A and B are shown apart, each in its own frame.
Chain A
Amino acid sequence: MIPKCYLFIPFLPLVSFVFNMLFGKRVLKDKAHLVPIVAVSGSLFFSFVVLIYVLFGNLVNEDLYTWVKSGDFKVSIGFLIDELTAVMLIVVSTVSLLVHVYSIGYMHGDERYSRFFAYLSLFTFSMLMLVMSNNFLQLYFGWEAVGLSSYFLIGFWYEKKSASDAAKKAFIVNRFGDFGFGLGVILLFITFGTLHYVPIFSDVELIKGQVFSFLGMDMDVATLIALLLFCGAVGKSAQLPLHTWLPDAMEGPTPVSALIHAATMVTAGVFLVARANPIFSLSPTALTVVALTGGITAIFAATIALVQNDIKRIIAYSTISQLGYMFVACGVGAYASGIFHLYTHAFFKALLFLCAGSVMHAMSGETNIQKMGGLKEHMPYTYWTMLIASLSIAGVPGFAGFFSKDDILWRAFASGTFTGKFVWFLCTVGAMLTAFYTFRIIFLTFHGTFRGTKEEKKHLHESPQNMTMPLVVLAGGSVLAGYVGIPVILGGNEWFSEFLSPVVGYAEGHGGHLAEFIVMLLSVIVAGFGIYGAYYIYLKRIDIANSAKETFKPIYNILYGKYYVDELYEYMVQRTILRFTKYVIEKVIDSWIIEGIVNGVPAAIGWLSMKVRRVQTGVVGHYSLAMALGFFVLTIMIVFKIWN
């Protein structure tokens, strides 16, 4: 058992949220970061304490407080701390603390400074509750709570229309996924009679082969539950086809993008799949869907990232692509590899975002990398840390990303199925694209000559220390985080997978060491190729970039237009559906049906309300008449028993 001190982990941020909401604006003002930072530091400290306990084999699974209990139905706040939770706690509280520190400099002087830190704390609390939950309902609440804090933070500068639109878009797109997730939770309760992880996972074998009949269709229960849960994951982790909200979410302050839309919240989908791995493992169909979704998203997002010019959007597409890798790992049954990549990705992706923030800080908010260049001299810290992050994400040997990405590629290759081989191929191509677009940012931003205005050039400066310090720490993480999972062929013992195996088991399928070595070599070669390609095009032969743009104009346009998915959705919703309904309603049934539905229901209730109100005449005789009428109807009913 772990002492109750683990409760400090989620509740310290909650306290700081309440405190900042109440006193932040009036009392603390520009010192509003103090309480949240102390609170999150506490969370981090206790996360390490918990990790040590878990390393010694102490686990927690208890209901702390039962809110509602009636028959089978039980709603409780409970905590499950196992190896998976411990890893997530470290990731969440580390990145959260660093982002808090970074925000001191980044948000300095904002008029809602204290409110920003309050929301950050609220998010941290919700995320920690999500990962520490011991039942699906609390997980669902945490899931919605992180969505809500994300909504607040994306739209933090709500005066900007694009920001409030992006917040709404994120919220609405997530509704689609969460609807499926909610249905999945309900189906879980119907199937198992409980929502707690432990009884569900221990009984999970019982539902093998059970079918669920709905509208005359028989569906495998395990597959259905797994796919419904995966719907939620697709929405939250911005996989195809619900990925459109994440790039837009970059309208939020950059620290938010680093914390929520790169390192933690968007990985909740991967966490969900890993957590529910006994259910997913029952259904090969569901696993195939997960793997294919991940693989296709990985390469899809990477191709878009190749040609974008907004620094944050490139990184956002990169995030979508990397999340795809994690789902690939889960889809081939290598949950530990997925979590491993989640863990290393949190460091280098948060670092990329924070560096981008630092660049934007220096460029007075400019995000177009075509207008940058040569920033290396002006901001050395940012340059070197961003370089480390890029090497890590590109999968250069020795950096954290190399270990985790290679692990995924090998597991996909070794899974022995056709799907596995196919997604391995997609991911390997994706790895090359990843290296290319990351170094495209590096070369366009930090090398070459400055392409902005004179005014901007004068303004260029390195960010203050409280912003560069987190960069350095994360750079350390981006290098070292991978060394907990060195593969066997490199003389390691895959300690990370070993550590997680009590929760997620071992990946199936094995191959020879030679094959593994070849896979690894191939990934390193394609990464090198990608980096060199970026170097050649954007540094050495700048003219090639433009001529290639002209030569491959159609492809370029498709990629630059993000495959026109947004336009497609807009077309589907606004043009097709709306126009169709408009046509049908206006021309065929006249406009009264739409009005009947949209305005009519409230209006009808209001009309009815006014009518029924007339009955209230104020005359006692009428009132007693109503009573007599009621009495008479009741006697008729009872004498003739009309309900028979």
Chain B
Amino acid sequence: MLNQIIFGYFAVTMISLALIVITRKNIMHSIVYMLILFFHIAGLYLFLNAEFLAAIQIIVYAGAIMVLFLFVIMLLNLREELRKSRFAITWPIGAIFVVLSAVMIIISVFGNRFANVGNVKISDIEKVGHTVAVGKLLFVEYLFPFEVASLILLVAIVGAIVLAKKEIK
């Protein structure tokens, strides 16, 4: 019962926060709400006994990425942005579809079981420690996706340079 209550709190809060993030007029406010959202995600990881992931979530997202966001936003001139309407004129239609789609998803969830299978048990993880468990999974089991992810990062770097470099004559 307690589990349900805690999960319910996280779930509802996260969705509300996400909605708040996209509806703020002032982008700085959005960023702050997003930070709180990330902390809640970390909390959900903790709730799932994934301490390592929770720590990574806070360090990478809250620490690195959010700070980067803040820097970029400070470099841009946002006074113009504030005066404009936040949404396209069609936003109510979009909202309706989102709500209706959500209803369809909720209809689908009820009465359908999930597989409660997992390859790794909590006790096994406790034995070796979270870092080792994640590392093994990442570098042995998922070695290939890991390598592909590194290529994606390389593309991101090249792409950023291409788009940001001064025009050569």
Which residues of chain B have C-beta atoms less than 8 A from A624's C-beta?
Answer: 94
A639-B107, A639-B108 known; A621+B101 contact, CB < 8 A: no
Residue in A619, A621, A625, A639 whose beta carbon sits within 8 Å of that of B97 in the complex: A625
* B107 near A628: Cβ-Cβ < 8 Å: no
* B90 near A635: Cβ-Cβ < 8 Å: no
> Is A575's CB within 8 Å of the partner chain B?
no
Interface string of B87-121 (1 = CB under 8 A from A): 11011011001101100110110000000000000
* A632 near B90: Cβ-Cβ < 8 Å: no
Residue in A621, A628, A631 whose beta carbon sits within 8 Å of that of B88 in the complex: A621
How many angstroms from the CA of A625 to the CA of B104 in the assembled complex? Answer: 17
* A635 near B88: Cβ-Cβ < 8 Å: no
* B93 near A632: Cβ-Cβ < 8 Å: no
* B97 near A628: Cβ-Cβ < 8 Å: yes
Closest to A624 in B: B94
> Is A542's CB within 8 Å of the partner chain B?
no
* A625 near B101: Cβ-Cβ < 8 Å: no
How many angstroms from the CA of A5 to the CA of B145 in the assembled complex? Answer: 61
Number of A positions contacting B (CB below 8 A): 12
A625-B94, A628-B97, A628-B98 known; A619+B88 contact, CB < 8 A: yes
How near does chain A come to B97, taking the closest CB pair, in angstroms?
5
* B90 near A625: Cβ-Cβ < 8 Å: yes
* A628 near B94: Cβ-Cβ < 8 Å: yes
> Is A622's CB within 8 Å of the partner chain B?
yes
* A632 near B100: Cβ-Cβ < 8 Å: yes
> Is A629's CB within 8 Å of the partner chain B?
yes
How many angstroms from the CA of A458 to the CA of B105 in the assembled complex? Answer: 99
How many angstroms from the CA of A46 to the CA of B108 in the assembled complex? Answer: 76
How many angstroms from the CA of A503 to the CA of B98 in the assembled complex? Answer: 74
Which residues of chain B have C-beta atoms less than 8 A from A622's C-beta?
Answer: 88, 90
Closest to A625 in B: B94
How many angstroms from the CA of A629 to the CA of B101 in the assembled complex? Answer: 9
Which residues of chain A have C-beta atoms less than 8 A from B108's C-beta?
Answer: 635, 639
Closest to A620 in B: B88
How near does chain A come to B22, taking the closest CB pair, in angstroms?
13
Interface string of A77-98 (1 = CB under 8 A from B): 0000000000000000000000
> Is A594's CB within 8 Å of the partner chain B?
no
Which residues of chain B have C-beta atoms less than 8 A from A603's C-beta?
Answer: none
* A625 near B93: Cβ-Cβ < 8 Å: yes
* B100 near A621: Cβ-Cβ < 8 Å: no
> Is A636's CB within 8 Å of the partner chain B?
yes
Which residues of chain A have C-beta atoms less than 8 A from B90's C-beta?
Answer: 621-622, 625
Which residues of chain A have C-beta atoms less than 8 A from B94's C-beta?
Answer: 621, 624-625, 628
Closest to A619 in B: B88
How near does chain A come to B159, taking the closest CB pair, in angstroms?
19
A639-B104, A639-B108 known; A632+B97 contact, CB < 8 A: yes
How near does chain A come to B157, taking the closest CB pair, in angstroms?
26
A619-B88, A621-B88, A625-B90 known; A631+B101 contact, CB < 8 A: yes
Which residues of chain A have C-beta atoms less than 8 A from B98's C-beta?
Answer: 628
Interface string of A603-644 (1 = CB under 8 A from B): 000000000000000010110110011011001100100000
* B104 near A636: Cβ-Cβ < 8 Å: yes
How many angstroms from the CA of A621 to the CA of B94 in the assembled complex? Answer: 9
How near does chain B come to A614, taking the closest CB pair, in angstroms?
14
Residue in B87, B88, B104, B107 whose beta carbon sits within 8 Å of that of A632 in the complex: B104
Which residues of chain B have C-beta atoms less than 8 A from A632's C-beta?
Answer: 97, 100-101, 104
Closest to B105 in A: A635
How near does chain A come to B93, taking the closest CB pair, in angstroms?
6
A621-B88, A622-B88 known; A628+B104 contact, CB < 8 A: no
How many angstroms from the CA of A621 to the CA of B107 in the assembled complex? Answer: 27
Which residues of chain B have C-beta atoms less than 8 A from A628's C-beta?
Answer: 94, 97-98, 101
> Which residues of chain B from 102 to 153 have a CB within 8 Å of any chain A CB?
104-105, 107-108
How near does chain B come to A633, taking the closest CB pair, in angstroms?
10
How many angstroms from the CA of A631 to the CA of B108 in the assembled complex? Answer: 15
B residues with a Cβ closer than 8 A to A are 87-88, 90-91, 93-94, 97-98, 100-101, 104-105, 107-108
Q: List 28 A-B contacts (CB under 8 A).
A: A619-B88, A621-B87, A621-B88, A621-B90, A621-B94, A622-B88, A622-B90, A624-B94, A625-B90, A625-B93, A625-B94, A625-B97, A628-B94, A628-B97, A628-B98, A628-B101, A629-B97, A632-B97, A632-B100, A632-B101, A632-B104, A635-B101, A635-B105, A635-B108, A636-B104, A639-B104, A639-B107, A639-B108
The 3 closest A-B pairs by CB, nearest first: A621-B88, A635-B104, A628-B97
